[in-house]
Structure 1
Amino acid sequence: MTRIVVGDIGGTHCRLAIAELSEGQRPQVEPMRRYRSRELPGLAAAWAKFAAEEGGELPRDAALGVAAPIEGEMLRFMNNDWRIPRHTIADDLGLDRLTLLNDFGAVSHAVSILGRDELIPLCGSEQLPENGVVTVMGPGTGLGVAILDQRDGAVRIIETEASHIGLSPLDPEEEGLADALVARYGRASVERIVSGPGLIDIHRYLGGGEWDPMKAGELWTAAMRGENAIAARALEIFIRCFAAAAGDIALAQGSMGVAITGGLANRIAPLLRAPAFEARFTAKGRYRDRMQRTAVVLATTEEPGLLGAAVAFQREHKA
């Protein structure tokens, strides 16, 4: 058995845990500890805090999923100020072996081993294809997207930045929203809408006024409970844009399956199963029939990024 540290380092939180690996078995991830990124200066500080709370010395092997492109000398986040020196991180943290990957690359590794009871059908075919391409995506502080390619038992993960493609408005209301995003940010990307903070931008566009980004969760709660009519309307637009983008990305990636993941997606699961989501997902003109056959499922397992990081280490190091 091998013990490693697994991490899911996102725009809002840094999640760390210990995982136990046994060859040929699913990794066992212990309860995670979560740290707010804005309350700590960087990964080293979170690592030290985690070590102290775990009671001392940590394993010298780790797998870290990072919400940033894994390229260049410095890993830079789109949604917080942390910077991670890519080539010295193992030495900086006192590690002998490190698997470093994009956070949705890690999530895709998790999806590849989930059981059918952990993948709830939303629309289309009820099961993901055993062979071929699956799009893995999920909204959070940003929108993560990756490709899971399974062929004859072999698994290949392709990390992408597909969330940053341009938003494609499909009606006058969405065109106005896109114009508002361009005026505010200089560009309207899918992630500006299909993410946790995206609801704030839609709410503002509908006349709801400014909203504290640190209290985005309260707006989501009000929207889902119907306590705020403008927020509820914003959530309807969010679902439409999410569905349209998921269909576009699936077509672009050539996938016949889409796995939607994450805590936010699980909170809005009833809306993802509703006809409005399926209608927008499948509204692809001559490719409507293909989209109706494409499996869309919701991954319900908690902390897929941590599980997937452990799976990625297991595959890389044959642990």
Structure 2
Amino acid sequence: MHPAFYPDGPRLLADIGGTNARFALERAPGQLSAVRTLACDAYPRFEDAVSAYLASVGIAVQHAAIAIANPVDGDAVRMTNHHWAFSTAGAAHELGLETLLVVNDFTALAMSLPGLMPADLVKVGGGATRPGAAIGLVGAGTGLGVSGLVPNGAGGWTPLQSEGGHVAFSPADEREVAVLRHCWERYSHVSAERLVSGPGLALIREALAARQGLVFETLEPAGIVARGLAGDDPLCLETLECFAGMLGTVAANLAVTLGARGGIYIGGGVVPRLGEWFARSPFRARFEHKGRFSDFTAAIPTLLITAPCPALLGAGRMLGDHLGDHLGERAGAHALATAPAPMPVTREREHAHC
């Protein structure tokens, strides 16, 4: 057995969003295998999806970390953008797990950032990271995730457990004011997530069509992206441009809120699908358009995460910290601080710093 392999066997890691659940086994720190993606809608319960994955790999595990697109506060977990709801203790018992650590997905993603390599990132625009400064994280998928890392004063980092995607949407021009007015006809509160997300693409397109008096067919987000990038559908292209500008505002607001001179990282499933077009989009110009703080944001780099499983790696690090092995750091990464009290369930074992 390789000396770095976990002596009690592989660990189960999962990254669960509103649409898909990605699972993997971690046999040693940062070494993932059997990575598989399951559609959430294919399983009535969270426990059913986990059981199906474990049956498919044919391996029993003792310890698991679940990064989930949801606030995590207490034993009860109820997803915001999906119908799954479960008790952490009950799920651990049913699945036969000694440890089940449930954490916010963007907190886990934030924990992976200092370990990402240059090949895992694409820089959009200018700016340079300032070592030891706060780092921001934002990502659009089924919802809008927000997190970050704050230096802890001891050479490590403290991740933020944030629900910043639910701040009120902030329009930056007349077109976005019109989009907001359209949304107000349906929603009493319009969050940033309502528009800066995969489902938000459809809502933006609907609002733009209403503003122009256009008759349009309903499209799924993937169709909007495909038609917009093809360049032969002006409404879809305008939708992508509007989305990118809105994301730029969200990212800039996060940058000035955190003082994120260490960079703003972009995760989530939507932006990677925009490909090279995203670098030419209104995103970076909007990010730098911050009034008296334009020079401040212009100096901050924006970095698109292209690593295939970063949230899984972050969840693995958090599980390693929880279990006390401190082995979850990727080679060459900066030391990370222990995460702030996620909601673990541990049976038949005591851990000194849990």
Normalization by structure 2: what TM-score?
A: 0.83
Indicate the residue corresponding to 1:83 in structure 2.
85
Indicate the residue corresponding to 1:248 in structure 2.
253
3-state DSSP of counterpart to 2:26: strand
**Distance 1:240-1:20 versus aligned 2 partners, 3 A rule:** same
1:217 aligned partner, one-letter code: A
Indicate the residue corresponding to 2:132 in structure 1.
131
Shift of 1:152: 4.5
3-state DSSP of counterpart to 2:21: strand
1:120 maps to 2:122: yes
Aligned identity (percent) is: 29
Higher mean alpha-carbon deviation, 156-165 vs 307-316, is at 307-316
Are the aligned partners of 1:124 and 1:291 in contact in 2 as well (CA < 8 Å)?
A: no
Partner Cα distance (2:48, 2:291) in 1: 51
1:43 maps to 2:50: no
Shift of 1:66: 0.8
Q: Deviations over 1:141-171 (max 9, x none)?
A: 0111111123453121111011111111121
2:292 aligned partner, one-letter code: R
Shift of 1:194: 0.9
Indicate the residue corresponding to 1:9 in structure 2.
16
2:178 to 176, 179, 182: 176
Indicate the residue corresponding to 2:347 in structure 1.
none
Indicate the residue corresponding to 2:150 in structure 1.
149
Equivalent positions of 1:189-268 (< 5 A) are 189-207=191-209, 209=216, 211=218, 215-256=220-261, 257-268=263-274
Are the aligned partners of 1:122 and 1:296 in contact in 2 as well (CA < 8 Å)?
A: yes
**Distance 1:222-1:191 versus aligned 2 partners, 3 A rule:** same
CA-based RMSD of the aligned residues comes to 1.8
Partner Cα distance (1:183, 1:280) in 2: 26
**Distance 1:90-1:112 versus aligned 2 partners, 3 A rule:** farther
Q: Deviations over 1:25-61 (max 9, x none)?
A: xx11114221111221111110111122112x42111
Gaps of 5+ in 2: 210-214, 328-354
Are the aligned partners of 1:65 and 1:309 in contact in 2 as well (CA < 8 Å)?
A: yes
Partner Cα distance (1:279, 1:216) in 2: 24
Higher mean alpha-carbon deviation, 101-110 vs 222-231, is at 222-231
1:35 aligned partner, one-letter code: L
Shift of 1:84: 2.0
Partner Cα distance (2:124, 2:70) in 1: 28
Normalization by structure 1: what TM-score?
A: 0.92
Indicate the residue corresponding to 1:18 in structure 2.
25
Indicate the residue corresponding to 1:52 in structure 2.
55
Indicate the residue corresponding to 1:32 in structure 2.
35
3-state DSSP of counterpart to 1:197: helix
1:177 aligned partner, one-letter code: V
Partner Cα distance (2:269, 2:171) in 1: 26
Partner Cα distance (1:275, 1:201) in 2: 19
1:106 maps to 2:112: no
Decide which structure has greater helix share.
1
3-state DSSP of counterpart to 1:290: helix
Partner Cα distance (1:247, 1:31) in 2: 37
Q: Deviations over 1:195-251 (max 9, x none)?
A: 111110011112264625xx3212221122223221111111001111011101221
Partner Cα distance (2:260, 2:100) in 1: 30
**Distance 1:37-1:250 versus aligned 2 partners, 3 A rule:** same
3-state DSSP of counterpart to 1:185: coil
Partner Cα distance (1:295, 1:174) in 2: 25
Shift of 1:269: 4.1
Equivalenced residues, count: 311
**Distance 1:183-1:131 versus aligned 2 partners, 3 A rule:** same
Partner Cα distance (1:282, 1:38) in 2: 39
Larger Rg: 2
1:20 aligned partner, one-letter code: R
